[in-house]
């Protein structure tokens, strides 16, 4: 992409409404624009990152055997009356009346609807297990939306729903999603720690929150620091095998958010030298809730014994839009964002120090073509802005590499590359620079 | 994908509520489920096709130089008061009040919001032209939703918005989108004919509807049949060049929907032998409306002469979810859907005639692996259903190829392949069958 044709409205000033780093940096880097309280337009740079998060989540869901579908944003109120949650949900549910005075709502979550879909078609244990997921915009009418995409009202979620005949099989499905989540967040360059959690309004007695550690995180967390070194399952993990050993490994050490922290247990179970108090951001949560929805909604399957029983369910959420903010909270400095390589909206920024100079232009085009061919998705700053401004923008938008090409270097046969994360710079011939970036 | 693990709830009976072929076939083929009037869940098979439509649209927008972003589904009523459309829009606009009694709406289109985004950041002709697009769910509270995804209430649209300094430049942007639309629909295997249209509530005096010809189309169309043979620009089309000749070629022959049909002109301009009366489905519409939104909303840019002028705009919609229905209307028979190759949810269906037979299972697995490696996205029917049911399902879901593997054929060293569109069958060795499908 050529910056002169792109739409990247960076802000020079810190926006006064942004209280946290990710919100401030997303506004400044031209990723986001607020359209109403807690409702945002994703400008092109932000949209590219959002799509990358979505795609990693999708790939890991598919790998774990979940099947993608898509439920609508609006739902009938009557569906929520079946589970009894319509009245429970309170003011955070955005209630809507259509032109025929039908009561509807903008879905804050989809347990009811997926149960309705399941019960319409699946009646036999022979069709189990099933795990259905979707990635869709949801709405929660927060009393006081703030912190940008970290606590917006309209937000993008992945949620998966598992269906099994028995509780044991249901727990095996739960384990699959648990492992998929470890992989998912690790691929995004995040340290995400599963922590035992309250299940709240979703229900059930088995639930984990996946918490990304970030200095600017929303809540305090207490953990055994050996959790930071646990191995994340590789892409060859066998989802058909018993995953209990992986679950045990990732849940036997102490890790808790401040909401459920038990100081006494922490001190008893965790040697003082291994204790780590940090801050964290929730990016996903898994729930196993058995027949909480299937029983009132009569989602029954016939077992091998001919007897109908309510299906055993779990649900598994990932905050897709929230993750964009979480990644920034976990990875930024005073100059701007530092994208982990897989999440970067562009892999490398090429800075043309003198557009209009035929030699510089030509070298930039050559680099652009080579990096594009190598799949590095370069962003070429071919604008008339001064070098200082170009450098500041590149640091702000946080692409992993910068390739700086100017007339003085070219006269000596060299260009400069800079690694955003470390600030390390190298001066070398153009072809070698491209090779280094592609390595 | 293995059918035993997939979620493909086909219906044996024709659903009584479906009045048109695409609606009936989408319900029967397990692509769609109604969740409320005009509001659907896209089941896995339908979702795969929806994603393919979306991806082709995205690729052609990107190729034409448009930049993707994403605007939210909900909008502030005040934004629509600025353009004067809030009161004009009537009962089709779904109006919503949030917990703080703010007036909002579920966006039926986005001219106001994109104008608001543009004016916030762009102030100079130097930043023009710009073309911004998004692919997002929209809502139109139809009085009487029907015909499945052809006239739903919650629907997926691509809309692009162009911004230019002068009317001439604006018309050049219009031409780019016109050409991109020709390419887009052609890639989907559709004959889409641009027809001069009324601009209706969007405004402006230059507008074309893109109409797909289908026997079961929603409205009568009258055209010069030589339009069917016009060449569609290739992927090497130069969007930087003057595209007027392509536009002239595609607009100089008569083509009109019944709404604007002028029988006298038709007979005057079109030799009798070239006249074709057919039925069609609208799948996209392009509008050039100049400063209709930019003037009241004060989206001004400074020209080279230092004078501020309202930016010249166009908007360009494609009905992404509607296209899934339109493709089916244009391509089906009594047995089911016939997907054009690029739109098929899976490229080939492998029918295992005797699951459990080691030789048949092994041959199916071999074919599955080879076809997967070749990127053909096979769907392997490994279920216990009887052959007759399997054949009916394959015809119904309309994959371009069927590969039928059974014990009798294998004893003779052969399998059968069937081309869904023609019904042509061939018996040949497995390796040759795989090669034929991959050709």
- Running along chain B, 439 residues long, what does each successive block of 10 average in pLDDT? 97 90 97 97 98 98 98 98 92 96 97 97 96 98 92 97 97 98 97 87 85 90 96 97 97 94 95 96 96 95 96 98 97 97 98 98 98 98 97 98 98 98 98 96
Q: What are phi and psi of B119, to 5 degrees?
A: -65, -25
Per the prediction, chain A carries an average pLDDT of 96
Q: How does DSSP classify residue B307? A: -
Using alpha carbons, list the distances in angstroms from residue A253 to A17, A194, A220, A229, A270.
39, 10, 17, 12, 8
Instruction: Find, among A319, A33, A335, the residue nearest to A150 by Cα.
Output: A319
The answer for residues whose C-beta is within 8 angstroms of residue A60's C-beta and 6 or more apart is A180, A181, A183, A184, A187
The rounded distance, in Å, linking the Cα atoms of A7 and A44 is: 7
Residue with tokens 């001439």: B168
All structural domains of chain B? 3-337 (3.30.930.10), 346-438 (3.40.50.800)
Q: Which residues of B touch A122 (CB under 8 A)?
A: 9
- More confidently predicted of B329 and A203: B329
pLDDT of A215 over the 90 cut: no
Q: Give the per-residue pLDDT at A204.
A: 76
Give the mean pLDDT of A408-423: 97
Q: What are phi and psi of B154, to 5 degrees?
A: -95, 120
Q: How does DSSP classify residue B142? A: -
Question: From the CA of A6, how many Å to the nearest CA of chain B?
Answer: 7
Question: From the CA of B198, how many Å to the nearest CA of chain A?
Answer: 27
Mutate which of A35, A42, A379 to test chain B, going by most B C-beta atoms within 10 A? A35
Q: Give the per-residue pLDDT at A95.
A: 97
**Tokens standing for A70?**
């898509």
For residue A171, name the pLDDT band (cuts at 50, 70, 90).
very high
The rounded distance, in Å, linking the Cα atoms of B294 and B291 is: 5
Three-class SS state of B184: helix
- Checking ipTM against 0.90, whether it exceeds it is yes
The rounded distance, in Å, linking the Cα atoms of A362 and B27 is: 56
For residue A273, name the pLDDT band (cuts at 50, 70, 90).
very high
Of the candidates B44, B65, B102, the beta carbon closest to that of A5 is on B65
Question: From the CA of B138, how many Å to the nearest CA of chain A?
Answer: 10
Contact of B163 with A38, CB cutoff 8 Å:
no
Show the 3-state SS of A261-305: CCHHHHHHHCCHHHEEEEEEEEEEEEEEEECCCCCCCCCEEECCC
Across the interface, whether the CB atoms of A69 and B47 are under 8 A apart is answered: yes
Q: Give the per-residue pLDDT at B202.
A: 73
Q: What are phi and psi of B68, to 5 degrees?
A: -85, 135
Q: Give the per-residue pLDDT at B22.
A: 97
User: What percent of chain A stands above pLDDT 90?
Assistant: 92
Q: What are phi and psi of B207, to 5 degrees?
A: -160, 140
Q: Which residues of B touch A137 (CB under 8 A)?
A: 72-73, 137
Of the candidates B6, B117, B130, the beta carbon closest to that of A41 is on B117
Q: Which residues of A touch B137 (CB under 8 A)?
A: 72-73, 137
Residues A70-104: tens digit of each pLDDT: 999 999 999 999 999 999 889 999 999 999 999 99
Give the mean pLDDT of A340-367: 98
pLDDT of A134 over the 90 cut: yes
The rounded distance, in Å, linking the Cα atoms of B398 and B403 is: 13
Question: Exposed, middle or buried, B337 (CB in 10 Å: 0-12/13-18/19+)?
Answer: buried
pTM for this structure? 0.97
Residues 96-155 in B contacting A (C-alpha not used; CB under 8 Å): 96, 98-99, 102, 104, 106, 113, 116-117, 120-122, 130, 132, 137, 139, 141, 143, 154
Instruction: Find, among B6, B54, B45, the residue nearest to B27 by Cα.
Output: B45
Beta strand residue intervals within B58-146, DSSP E: 67-68, 74-76, 94-97, 103-106, 130-139
Q: Which residues of A touch B67 (CB under 8 A)?
A: 5-7, 44
Render the burial of A15-43: b for 16+ CB within 10 Å, e for the rest: eeebebbbbbbbbbbbbbbbbbbbbbbbb
Q: Find residue A379's DSSP bridge partners.
A: A349
Pairing, β B348-352 against β B401-405: parallel
**Tokens standing for B158?**
């691509």
Mutate which of A2, A6, A7 to test chain B, going by most B C-beta atoms within 10 A? A7
Residues A14-45: tens digit of each pLDDT: 898 888 999 999 999 999 999 999 999 999 99
Residues 28-47 in A contacting B (C-alpha not used; CB under 8 Å): 30, 33, 35-37, 39-44, 46-47
Of the candidates A65, A73, A79, the beta carbon closest to that of B73 is on A73
| Cis status, amide bond into A253, omega within 30 of 0 | no
Of the candidates A68, A96, A132, the beta carbon closest to that of B94 is on A96
Q: Find residue A212's DSSP bridge partners.
A: A192, A281
């Amino acid at each position: 992409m050529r910056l002169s044709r792109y739409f990247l409205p960076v802000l020079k000033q810190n926006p006064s409404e942004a209280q946290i780093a990710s919100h401030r940096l997303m506004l400044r880097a031209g990723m986001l624009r607020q359209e109403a309280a807690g409702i945002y337009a994703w400008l092109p740079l932000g949209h590219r990152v959002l799509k990358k998060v979505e795609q990693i989540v999708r790939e890991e869901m598919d790998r774990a055997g979940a099947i993608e579908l898509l439920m609508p944003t609006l739902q009938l109120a009557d569906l929520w009356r079946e589970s009894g949650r319509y009245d429970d949900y309170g003011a955070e549910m955005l209630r809507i009346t259509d032109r025929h005075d039908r009561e509807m709502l903008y879905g804050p979550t989809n347990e009811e609807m997926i149960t309705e879909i399941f019960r319409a078609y699946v009646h036999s244990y022979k069709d189990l297990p099933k795990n259905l997921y979707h990635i869709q915009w949801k709405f929660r009418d927060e009393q006081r939306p703030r912190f940008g995409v970290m606590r917006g009202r309209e937000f993008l979620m992945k949620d998966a729903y598992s269906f099994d005949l028995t509780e044991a099989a249901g727990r095996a499905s739960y384990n699959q999603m648990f492992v998929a989540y470890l992989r998912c967040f690790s691929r995004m360059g995040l340290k995400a720690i599963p922590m035992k959690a309250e299940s709240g309004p979703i229900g059930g007695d088995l639930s984990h929150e996946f918490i990304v550690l970030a200095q600017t995180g929303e809540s305090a967390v207490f953990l055994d620091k050996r959790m930071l070194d646990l191995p994340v399952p590789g892409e060859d993990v066998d989802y058909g095998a018993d995953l209990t050993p992986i679950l045990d490994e990732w849940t036997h050490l102490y890790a808790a958010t401040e909401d459920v922290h038990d100081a006494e247990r922490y001190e008893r179970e965790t040697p003082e030298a291994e204790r780590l108090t940090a801050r964290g951001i929730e990016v996903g949560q898994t729930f196993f809730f058995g027949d909480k929805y299937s029983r009132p909604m009569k989602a029954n399957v016939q077992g091998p014994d001919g007897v109908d029983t309510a299906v055993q369910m779990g649900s598994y959420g990932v905050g897709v839009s929230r993750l964009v903010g979480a990644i920034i909270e976990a990875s930024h400095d005073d100059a701007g964002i530092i994208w982990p390589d897989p999440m970067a909206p562009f892999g490398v920024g090429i800075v043309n120090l003198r557009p209009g100079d035929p030699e510089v232009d030509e070298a930039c085009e050559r680099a652009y073509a080579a990096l594009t061919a190598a799949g590095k998705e370069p962003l070429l700053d071919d604008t008339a802005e001064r070098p200082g401004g170009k450098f500041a923008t590149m640091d702000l938008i946080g692409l992993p590499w910068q390739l700086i090409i100017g007339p003085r270097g070219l006269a000596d046969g060299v260009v400069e590359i800079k690694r955003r994360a470390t600030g390390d710079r190298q001066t070398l011939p153009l072809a070698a620079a491209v090779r280094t970036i592609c390595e």
